Structures are given as C-alpha cells and as structure tokens.
Structure 1
Amino acid sequence: MKIGFIGLGRMGYNMVLNLLEHKVKVVAYNRSPEPTKKLARKGAEAAFSIEELVSKLRKPRVVWVMVPAGKPVDEVVSKLLKLMDKGDIIIDGGNSFFKDSIRR
C-alpha cells in the first residue's frame, strides 16, 4: 500500500518515519520543501505540490493530513476534494474539533 501524507511538522514527520519503518510506502508533501527532501533521503517518495502527491497515488487513494486545525485543514481538504474521486479516503490526523471533521 502507498499513502499520501501532507504536513511534515513534528508529528507528521515522525508519523512518516514510523510508517516507513513498518514498510508502508509514503508519498510525502510539506508546504516548505526541506522536510520533504529529508524524508526522501529516508525512503519516502517526494511530492512538491498537493497535485503531484495525488498524481503519484493509485485509486482508491488514501491521503493522511497532519496540518494545524482550522483554516489550514479546510484549505488542504478543499484542494484535495477537487483532485480526488469517490472512494478515495482523506484522514484528518490533526487536532481538529470533531464537529469540523464531520462537517467536512
């Protein structure tokens, strides 16, 4: 299985390392490119835009989002919804208020 991972801050970066250690293939993207480049050196596949990340995944696609709650999540999910299809999965792994997750 290959999953997409958006948001490589402290939590996201370490989640990707854990997934890689457990032999999960990961396409990683972060708004600033340095964490993406570092994880590529550790075995992740790099993407430098959300569009590129989605294009590197096979259907049904799974994208794990680890960005700060609120507007950042809304912006990422909005962009993903334009790129993904019915049956694809978006995981909001951040610290969102559960009613916001239900609304999305």
Structure 2
Amino acid sequence: MELGLVGLGKMGGNMRERIRRAGHTVIGYDRNPDLADVDSLEELVSKLKGPRVVWVMVPAGPATQSTIDELGELLSPGDVVVDGGNSRWTDDEKHAAELAERG
C-alpha cells in the first residue's frame, strides 16, 4: 500500500512511522521542512501512483480547508482524500461535496 500523509505533527508523524513499520510506503508533507519527505503538496501528489490516497491530518478550520482546496486542484478523478484531523463532521460532508464535483 502507498499513501500520502499531510500533517506530520504529533499524531501524523507517529502514524507515518507506524504505517512504515508495517511495511507500507508513506510519503509525508508538512509545512515544517524538517519533518517533510517532500517540499509541497504538488510534489507529494506527483510521487504517488494512481489511484492516489492522501490522508490529511491538519487542524480543523482554515488549515484543513486550504489543504482540501489545493488537493482538489492536484488530484485526479478516482483519487481518495481521507480527513483524519479534528474537523467537525459537517465540514467533512462539505469537503466531500466539493471534491465530488471534481471527480
């Protein structure tokens, strides 16, 4: 399995390491370059084979919205975004509808 992971703070960083220890490929992006495997969301998406899976672990609110918006521009129909952060479920419904419009 291969996935992209956005947000490598306490939870996301630990998830990346546990998933890697289980033998899976994880490409991580974080605004902090000391934590990131790639320099941008664009590079993260370009390194994943389709159909892509990107797991988002960023704080609720504007950080999540901007990440979802950018991923929506970069991903292809059939790719999957998992919002694993602390967003309210109604935000998840909104993001799902926004991404569904793009395929």
- Identify whether the pair has TM-score above 0.5, normalized to the shorter chain: yes
1:34 is paired with a residue whose SS is: coil
Give the aligned partner of residue 78 of structure 2: 87
Divergent runs of 4+, >4 A:
none
Return the letter of the residue paired with 2:43. Answer: E
Tell me the percent identity: 44
- Distance in 1 of aligned mates of 2:35 and 2:49: 23
Q: Taking structure 2 as the reference length, what is the TM-score of the superposition?
A: 0.90
Unaligned runs of at least 5 residues, structure 1:
37-45
The aligned counterpart of 2:26 is 26
Helix, strand or coil at the partner of 1:33: coil
Q: 2:65 aligns with which of 71, 74, 81?
A: 74
Distance in 2, Cα, partners of 1:80 & 1:35: 20
Using structure 1 for the length normalisation, give the TM-score: 0.89
How far 1:54 moved relative to its partner? 0.1
| Runs (5+) with no aligned partner, structure 2 | 96-103
Rounded Cα–Cα distance in structure 2 between residues aligned with 1:35 and 1:51 = 17
Deviation at 1:50, TM superposition (A): 0.3
Q: What SS does the aligned partner of 1:28 have?
A: strand
Q: Distance in 2 between matches of 1:24 and 1:54?
A: 17
